Amino acid sequence: MPAPVAPAPAPATPFRSVAAYAPPGVGLLAVGVIAEVFAERGGGLPRFDFALCTERPGPVPTDVGVPVQVTHGLDRLTTADLVLFLPWSDFRTPPPPAVLAALTAAHARGALVGAHCVGSFALAAAGLLDGRRATTHWRFAGLLTDRHPEVSVQPEALYVDEGSIVTGAGAAAGFDLSLHLLRREYGAATANAIARDLVLPPHRAGGQAQYVAAPVPADTEDERLAEVLAWAARHLDRPLPVASWPAAPDEPPLLRSRRFTAATGTTRTPGCWSCASPAPRNC
């Protein structure tokens, strides 16, 4: 599986104040993810000055129809060490000019700026991703590339670290991005302690390819593979080494494995599903 893109040089001072920008239609899950990671915990862990902010303070509608009361405005972005733009439902429409200006100003003064899921579209609209690598939800990676060809979109990554700019993949990858930042600036012990408190793995290996929907192939060229997948689904109660797959007598196991990877987007084969191996084995 592709690993998260390696980090570039980071700001010298660890962040303390965190401002998460919540646009109208903000993802309620994203609000919860960021608020949980940077909540006050005690026990020797860093204390973050965390706040939600928006262009016009007050009730902010979310993607599920439940409003969130936000008391801080754009002025909060002028002092935060870490500025995060949360994903929102109307991401195809660029944020207002005042919001984009606040993002660029925050980055220009040295703040760490980030986003996950479709929040990356806001950073791209502000020009902050020009000439940089970035990621977003795999479903919208092509759209981000089409709209912002100056951005090197990495659709396979769970997060991309470009030093002062960080981006993450969709939904729960906000946890991955946030824990990475904690690990990068506060060390593995801090990140692990917060992950343990949230009952999360401190680090998820692999990229977004494992989450991309890859249905059983429908074209005639891969009908045999479709049969293999259907057969494997019926026999997951026992090991399914590559050599045991139903296939033409002249098809070597390595070719079967390669066809499986090409069609499904993952290197985990049916044999590894049943034996829980983290990677394909020569069963």
Strands (E), the chain: 17-21, 49-53, 58-60, 68-70, 82-85, 112-116, 133-134, 152-153, 159-161, 165-168
Distance CA 98, CA 233 (A): 52
3-state secondary structure of 73: coil
One-letter amino acid at 201 equals P
* Per-residue model confidence as pLDDT tens for the chain (283 residues): 444 555 444 445 689 999 999 999 999 999 999 999 999 998 899 999 999 999 999 999 999 999 999 999 999 999 999 999 999 999 999 999 999 999 999 999 999 999 999 999 999 999 999 999 999 999 999 999 999 999 999 999 999 999 999 999 998 899 999 999 999 999 999 999 999 999 998 888 667 765 665 554 444 445 566 667 677 767 777 787 767 777 655 667 676 666 666 655 555 544 443 333 344 444 3
What does the DSSP 8-state code read for residue 165? E
Whether the full predicted model's pTM is greater than 0.75, yes or no, is: no
What the block records as the tokens of 42 is 């005690």
What the block records as the tokens of 34 is 């960021």
Q: Other C-beta atoms within 10 Å of 38: how many?
A: 24
What the block records as the tokens of 242 is 């590559």
Distance CA 205, CA 207 (A): 7
What does the DSSP 8-state code read for residue 85? E
Distance CA 112, CA 128 (A): 11
Distance CA 257, CA 203 (A): 27
**Which pLDDT value is given to residue 237?**
73
Distance CA 225, CA 263 (A): 8
In the block, tokens 């026990």 appear at 43
Strands 165-168 and 159-161, how do they pair?
antiparallel
Nearest Cα neighbor of 161 from 175, 177, 143 is: 177
Torsion of CA 100, 102, 103, 105, to 10 degrees: 120
Strands 165-168 and 112-116, how do they pair?
parallel
One-letter amino acid at 132 equals R
What residues does each domain of the chain span?
17-208, 214-275
The CATH fold of domain 17-208: Rossmann fold (3.40.50)
